[in-house]
Each structure stands twice: as C-alpha cells, then as structure tokens.
Amino acid sequence: MGDFSNKTEEQEPRQTGNVSRRNFLKGAVAGGVGVWALSPYRIAEAMLAGEAESRPIRGVGVEPGVVQIGSNENPIGASPRALEAVLKHMGSSNRYYRSNALVESLARVHSIPYTPQQRDGNQPRQADPILLAAGSGQTLQTIALTFLSAPGDEMVAAHPSYGSIERRWEADGGVVHRVPLTADYKHDLNAMLAKVNTKTKIVSICNPNNPTGTIVPYTEIEHVVNSVPKQTIVVVDEAYIEFVRDPGYKTSIPLAVSRENVIAVRTFSKIFGLAGVRVGYSVAHPSLHQRMLKYHYTNGIGVYGMVAAEAALEDYDHQNRSRELAIAMKMYFAAEFKKMGLEYIPSESNFMMVNLKQEARPIGQELAKRKVFTADADRRWGMKNWIRLSVGTQEESEAFIKALREILKPDKEV
Ligand SMILES: Cc1ncc(COP(=O)(O)O)c(C=O)c1O
C-alpha cells in the first residue's frame, strides 16, 4: 500500500485549499467519508505514489476476479486528481453546482474562443460553443432529436459504427444510409458522400471508429465538410481520440469552431476513466447549440461529475499512463492473436476486433463463464465471427488470452 509518510510536504506541493493532497486524502478516510470511499482512495493513493504501474491492480471498479473488457472502459480507474476532487466536494452535495469552471477549462485547453456570459435567470439561456452533457451519449441523443425531425430527413453513417444517432432516428421511422466500411475497415467517404442529397441532415463520422478503431485523417473530414450542402451537419464523434498515435490525425474541434455545420463530440468516459460519472460535451457553432438547447437537459451533470472532469482534464500523467497501457496491451493482443492464427483489426483506440473464424457468440458465452466479459459483435453489428475486446490491465489481458486459448484450443500455434 502506498504510504506517503516518508515524503515531505515539499515533495507533495499541490495544495487542496490549505491542506496538502496527502493530508486531505488521509483525512478524508480517517474522517469517515464512508467505507465505499476506501477503495478508490487506495487506488488514488497508489497512483499518486507512482505505484500503479509496478503492481497490477485487477478489476478496478468491478468485483475481484472479473475481467470486464466489453465496454471500452479505462481499466486503471479514474484520474486520481478526479477522485480527490470528488472526495473534497462531498461536503457540498446538498448544493446545486454553480460554477462554470469546466466550460472555461475546456475552452482554454482546446483554444476555443469563449467569453463567459453573465447568466440572468429571467432571460432565455444563450448557447456557448461548448455544450456539456451527462455523457456524450446524451449529446448524440440531443443531436438526433434536434436535427432529424421531419419524415423526409435522412442521415448517412458508416457501418459498422457506434450507431447511436442512427438507432434513434430509425426508431422514429427515419431514413438512414449505412455505408459499409472499406475492405481495410475504414470509412468509405466517397461512397458516403454519394449518399448525401438535399434531404441529408446529418453525416456521422465516428473517429476513431467504434468498433474497428480505424481513423479518418483531418484533411478528409475537411473534404467532407467542404463537399456537403451548407445545411448538412457533419458530426464527428471523438470519444477515443486521446488514444490515437497516428501523426496524420487531428481533432475536428478547429472545424467545429470555424464552420457553422460541424459538431465535435467528446467524452470523459474513456481515457479519463469517468464512465460512471457521465460527463461529455460537444463543440460547435453557438447557433447549432442554440437549436440543441430546445431538447437538451442542461442540469444532467452532478457536482461529482463536474469537479471530477475538471480535475481530470489536465491530468496528463493519468492520460499518458492510460494511453501507454492501451498501446502495450494492443501489442500484446496482436502478438497472441498472430500466434493463434487469428485475424485482428489494428486499432488506434483502446479496443480491438478479433476474428475467431467460427461463430463468436458461444465463445463469448464460454468467456463469460470464466468471468471474462467481451462485446458481442454479432448482436451489435452482425459480425458473426468477431468479438470486440477492450484493453485490460496486464493481468486482466493475460487472463483473457488464457481463457480464449482454453476455449479455442488451437492445435498448432504459429
Ligand atoms: C464512439 C462512442 N461514442 C459515444 C459513446 C458514449 O459514451 P458516453 O455516453 O459514456 O460518453 C461511446 C461509448 O462507448 C462510444 O463508443
């Protein structure tokens, strides 16, 4: 267990009000914040002490022994700074959260021109270029509700892809053009553009794409934006952007800031490890957000989400640790899949697709019996022989490979 007792205050200079981080965390537990807080506290303490990498932490946030690699979560947990912020704000749970700090920090970090507005409760809310949501899932839902409404409205998206806007619009009987990915599992942008017409309200690009982990370079997104009619909105879902290593890749936020028909969607659920507290946001021209406000519930994020996201945003150590783990585990999976003679899709994200060369659902069920949970690519995308797995810690990833070998029993390995 990490113990800060042999460190001086000078070595722990970051202050939490007038208490050092170390004393704050110790005090929070000693003061009886609650037994449930102990486990995240311990994780935070180990991470702050730099121990998280040297000792495997299995099953952070799930029951011991469970390997949950089916939902593209962060296996090492939340940023310790986020945990600290949540603990610190427990005492103000009885208050509505009133600060605009998260939006201001996002504007600064992404270089988005932004002037905080004086809010007047009697005036209708004016939209900003950043619109917070209770997870990016809420943002995508609001986008669908706002921009797809008339019976003739159409949208274009790749397939397989995350698909939440598509499902929402189809549930209302709307027209969705799903364009298959190319043979190397990338967006086929020319084929997507060929489906765009004057009725197209949304072109949706998931970048990196879930479930394939493939990416679309910035210049190609720019080409799509330049090619569609002015009233067609290009939505770029960047849920996994922080994991990308390809140097040709760039966020679409500058396009969302400079154009009137681009929405970039982000989340704190993935690299920041905050899936359970639900914080996401979109960046877009305020006129688009103004339209979205009609359908968007703006008080969906509680105080813990707000302060956790704000604290995690610039915790680059935690982001680097998370990205490096993802890179290392993807390399490990790739090597193991090669030995087993299995095809996989090289991914720029924190998950991977592997082709089991046989019906994957029974294999997924066998894995689940061993407490290893992966995503069913057949149910979601009709990819019968594939499973999607996200990276676990080293120990969890090894447990998955061991279980897969036991089930598949490959006769000869290469
Ligand atoms: C591509 C993509 N977008 C959006 C989401 C929604 O994430 P959240 O609502 O947790 O922000 C997910 C979740 O897995 C995702 O994979």
- pLDDT tens per residue, range 175-193: 999 999 999 999 999 999 9
Instruction: Report how far residue 176's alpha carbon sits from residue 166's, in angstroms, rounded to the nearest whole number.
Output: 6
Q: Which part of the chain has CATH 3.40.640.10?
A: 101-313
Identify the pLDDT of residue 320.
96
Are the CB atoms for 390 and 67 separated by under 8 Å?
no
Identify the pLDDT of residue 3.
26
The token pair at 127 is: 């939209």
90-124 tens-digit pLDDT? 889 999 999 999 999 999 999 999 998 876 667 77
Phi-psi region of 358 (alpha: psi -120 to 50; beta: other; left: phi over 0): beta
Q: In testing the pocket of ligand 1, which one of 244, 266, 269, 391 has its CB within 8 Å of the most ligand atoms?
A: 269
72 lines ligand 1 (CB under 6 A): yes
CA of 267, closest atom in ligand 1:
11
162 lines ligand 1 (CB under 6 A): yes
Instruction: Report how far residue 217's alpha carbon sits from residue 305's, in angstroms, rounded to the nearest whole number.
Output: 31
Identify the pLDDT of residue 413.
79
- Taking all residues of the chain, what is their mean pLDDT, rounded to a whole number? 87
52-56-61-67 Cα dihedral, nearest 10 degrees: 150
Identify the pLDDT of residue 42.
64
348 lines ligand 1 (CB under 6 A): no
Domain formed by 101-313, architecture:
3-Layer(aba) Sandwich (3.40)
User: Which strand ranges, in their side-by-side order, compose the sheet holding 343-345?
Assistant: 343-345, 351-355, 386-390, 375-376
Identify the pLDDT of residue 271.
98
Peptide bond into 116 cis (omega under 30): no
Identify the pLDDT of residue 48.
57
pTM: 0.88
Choose the most confident range, by mean pLDDT, from 56-65, 113-122, 405-414: 405-414
232-288 tens-digit pLDDT? 999 999 999 999 999 879 999 999 999 999 999 999 999 999 999 999 999 999 999
Identify the pLDDT of residue 152.
94
Q: For residue 65, what is the DSSP state?
A: T
The token pair at 364 is: 């997924």
Identify the pLDDT of residue 93.
92
The token pair at 49 is: 């002490």
Q: Which part of the chain has CATH 3.90.1150.10?
A: 318-408
Distance 240 CA to ligand 1 centre (A): 9
The amino acid present at 232, given as its one-letter code, is T
Q: In testing the pocket of ligand 1, which one of 210, 241, 352 has its CB within 8 Å of the most ligand atoms?
A: 210
Domain 318-408 has CATH 3.90.1150.10: yes
Letter string b/e over residues 124-147, b meaning 16 or more CB atoms within 10 A of that residue's CB? eeebbbbbbbbbbbbbbbbbbbbb
State the Rg of the chain over Cα: 22
Percentage, residues of the chain above pLDDT 70? 85
* Lookup result for tokens 């996002």: 106
Are the CB atoms for 275 and 312 separated by under 8 Å?
no
**Other C-beta atoms within 10 Å of 349: how many?**
26
Percentage, residues of the chain above pLDDT 90? 76
Alpha helix positions (H), 262-413: 286-292, 303-313, 316-339, 360-369, 377-381, 394-408
CA of 139, closest atom in ligand 1:
9
Task: Look at residues 320, 352, 325, 381 and name the one whose alpha carbon lies nearest to residue 214.
Answer: 352
